[in-house]
Structure 1
Amino acid sequence: MRQGNLGIQKIDWLTVLLYFSLAILGWLNIYAAVYDEAHSNILDFTQRYGKQLLWIGTSVLIIIFLFILDGSVFQTLAYPIYGLSMLSLLAVLFFGKEIAGARSWFVIGGFSLQPSEFAKFATALALAAFLGKPERNLSSWRTKIVAFGIILLPAILIVPQPDPGSGLVYFSLILVLYREGLSSSYIIAGISIAVLFLLSLLIPILYLQLILAAVALIIIFLGRKVRGFWLRVTAILAVALVLVNSVDYAFNNILEDRHRNRINILLGKAHDPKGIGYNTTQSMIAIGSGGWSGKGYLQGTQTKFDFVPEQSTDFIFCTVGEEWGFLGSALLIVLFSLLFFRLVHLAERQKSSFARAYAYAVVSILFFHFSINIAMTIGLAPVIGIPLPFFSYGGSSLWGFTFLLFILIKLDSYRWQTL
């Protein structure tokens, strides 16, 4: 038996409230970030805050549209949506407009659209649809290869734009596979790869190779009585050595200078506070200057005098830190934390594997954006162009995140039914 199309009484209104709280707070802080006495009207649609209000208004239309749809349509159309999204990512490489050094946008008249923002919910749907089939078993190599393929394809298409930050988002979906039964050894392997990646950037390659060989010999010696143990260790060592050399090659020959410089500054291998490290330096100054309770709304000096570039987009958290201080920053983090806890609760109460996998994909993507964006602004992560969900300026990102979240809310309203 199907519920009515809208099913308003079954909507999780707490999650809806958290969404609009973040969107409205974001809009107010975008106004503060670009505030100019010559354009002080908060409803001035020629300014970023006016445009963001339009994006919020159109997002309401998206929400109504999603609520009207039958809950089963998302699983039915998951693969076609994913296919169209991948085609758009491919097309933007050839027909997109280059903005800020990346060919990531379709521009039609005065309207621009970033397909990578919509690929997130499309990939989440496709992965959930694949894992939601009763016959899927993540102990099967075929299932693992297809699942990893669904995750990696958009990342492979996005990185050449170049937009490595958006490409990295998809790796957070490995947490979905873990929740659905992937062995923890893959998570350990992923962490080991990340550690090797960092070590290969901090330690000369020759020294790192010698260290890996020494560790492998010690492990083989300690486990020499276990049959075939040395073969497994040798295989792991070979993979590690290939990875180390691949990272070195990719870092020096594939990444652009700006990306290499940002990573080197983060790792302490370079110091350029007036060049490539300017954004992060000014960001930390702005946040630190806010103190305990902030300078007051529209009173931020770092904000007013444009010391932090992209302050309404990637560095919107600076405005919060400067004008609202530690208390305002903590409140924002609490709101996001409440949203994440609520989404995990929604994920665990789903009756279908499809809805549960999709819910964890939503949590993974949003948490990655939240943690990396704030880490960028306080100097704990390289600047990789990751917006703060529902908060940063941008129509494509707000629409993409709205689709991502409200598809889950709609699925949750159908949780007692078989989709």
Structure 2
Amino acid sequence: MRAFFTHLRNIDRGIVTTAGLLSIFGLSSLYSSSIGLENFGNFQKQAIFLIIGIFLMLGISYVDWRLLRNDPYFLFILWIIGVFALAGLFVLAPEIRGVKGWYKIGGISIDPIEYMKIVLLVLMAKYFSLRHIEMYRIRHILLSGVYFGIPILLIFLQPNLGSAALLSILWVVLLVISGIKPRHFLVLLIMGGLLFSFGWGVLLQDYQKDRIISFLEPELDPLGIGWSQVQSRIAIGNGGVFGQGFGQGTQTQYGFLSEPQTDFIFAAIAEEFGLLGVILLLVLFLTLLYKMFKIGLNATSNFPRLFVAGFTILFILQLFVNVGMNLGLLPIIGLPLPLVSYGGSSLLALYAGLGVLLSIKVHS
């Protein structure tokens, strides 16, 4: 126990503090939107998950990250568990809004996708770090594609286009960082374009097409498929510089803003806390990203560098896409604002990833 408390004195308290402040920011917005919904269940569950997440982060940070790199079977077993968890959704998960994406246990929903994101990052950090001088070999690209491709296919079939696209982009970026040849990268881009063209005609559901169309032309159906992004932009504009005040946002409190606790929590924050609140939120994000980037720069081997790069990219992608959705710059694909949006699975996965980062900082 004394060793653990000594460890706590050595961790990067800047990461712990910044991540905690972002989550508290999210909790305050959840509480406010719960007033309008007259239901504080999500706020209470998120508060509990936050406490669990912080302890999970600190616990993982105490374990030497080299154990993940050196064990030949542990990461593969975690990957297999994730694949079975994703496959089990088709049998065991209830259908919610046409998607089988969550296990329901009492009043709690469990999303295995968030678990799989972190497992893939650690697994690929190990795989690429051992083969970084051989990334010109096509078999390494193909095998890494199998590790990513099976979960991506299962996620796409739920159907969950947003998370499938996120993991696809993450795989390609990790390949680029690991040093694949430019011509291999070009081939991947061409294949991605062909798959998208095929998917639009054959695989995409009508509601997924509607989301892309509403992004391109929201004014075509402002009371239908374009409603969410139109109301999001109105909410952001209502906030002005100082915001309408805690619990006073008209779009948020009167139900005009859809999903103010998940997809559109950024708009809810902008409406009630204004431009100043948004600036504070973005400063916290940039501070956390700077801390991550610094850990990656100071890493002494390829495994921690690749994990930090992958986790930072994952974080940036989710931040960029969520804010872009709220501003009407990107289609709605259901990605949460990291550490802020409601969602216990996402929160725990991100804090677990931060725990690995802290372990890299302390044990390197």
TM-score > 0.5, shorter chain as reference: yes
Cα distance per residue 1:110-131 (max 9 Å; x no partner): 3221101111001101101111
Structure 1 residues 47-58: aligned runs within 5 Å: 47-58=41-52
Q: CA deviation at 1:91?
A: 1.4
Which letter does structure 1 place at the counterpart of 2:81?
L
Find 2:54's aligned residue among 60, 80, 92.
60
Secondary structure of the corresponding residue to residue 366 of structure 1? helix
CA contact (8 A) 1:314 1:387 kept: yes
Paired residues of 2:86 and 2:151 also in contact (CA < 8 A): yes
Supply the RMSD in Å over aligned alpha carbons.
2.2
Task: Report sequence identity in percent.
Answer: 28
Name 1:18's counterpart in structure 2: 18
Pick aligned residue for 2:137 from 140, 150, 159: 140
Give the corresponding residue for 2:147: 150
CA distance 1:319–1:343, change in 2 (3 Å): same
Equivalence for 1:110: 107
Residue 220 of structure 2, aligned match among 262, 265, 271:
271
3-state DSSP of counterpart to 2:101: strand
Q: Within the alignment, does 1:298 sit opposite 2:247 as a pair?
A: yes
Partner of residue 81, structure 1:
78
Letter in 1 for 2:214: I
Mapped pair 1:288 → 2:237:
yes
Which residue pairs with 1:176 in the alignment?
174
Is the partner of 1:107 in helix, strand or coil? strand
For 2:285 and 2:265, the matched residues in 1 are separated by: 15
After TM superposition, the score normalised by the length of structure 1 is 0.80
In structure 1, distance between residues paired with 2:240 and 2:300:
46
The alignment covers a number of residue pairs equal to 357
Structure 1 CA distance, aligned partners of 2:36 and 2:140?
55
Shift of 1:309: 1.4
Asked whether the 8 Å contact 1:120–1:404 carries over to 2, the reply is no
Structure 2 counterpart of 1:35:
35
Question: Secondary structure in 1 aligned to 2:130?
Answer: coil
- Determine which structure has the larger helix proportion and give its number: 2
Q: Distance in 1 between matches of 2:196 and 2:36?
A: 45
Q: 1:96 to 1:405 in 2, by over 3 A?
A: same
Q: Could you say what secondary structure the match of 2:52 adopts?
A: helix
What secondary structure is seen at the aligned counterpart in 1 of 2:24? helix
Give the alignment of 1:343-382 within 5 angstroms. Answer: 343-382=292-331
Give the unaligned 5+ runs of structure 1. 40-45, 198-242
Write the distance in 2 (CA, Å) between the matches of 1:185 and 1:281.
Answer: 41
**Cα 1:193/1:145, change in 2 over 3 Å:** closer
Q: Deviations over 1:22-43 (max 9, x none)?
A: 111111111112224966xxxx
Distance, in Å, in 1 between the alignment partners of 2:229 and 2:256 is 11
CA displacement at 1:61 relative to structure 2: 2.6
| Native 8 Å contact 2:30 2:43 kept in 1 | yes
The structure with the larger Rg is 1
Q: State the TM-score, normalizing by the size of structure 2.
A: 0.91
Deviation of 1:150 after TM superposition, in Å, equals: 2.2
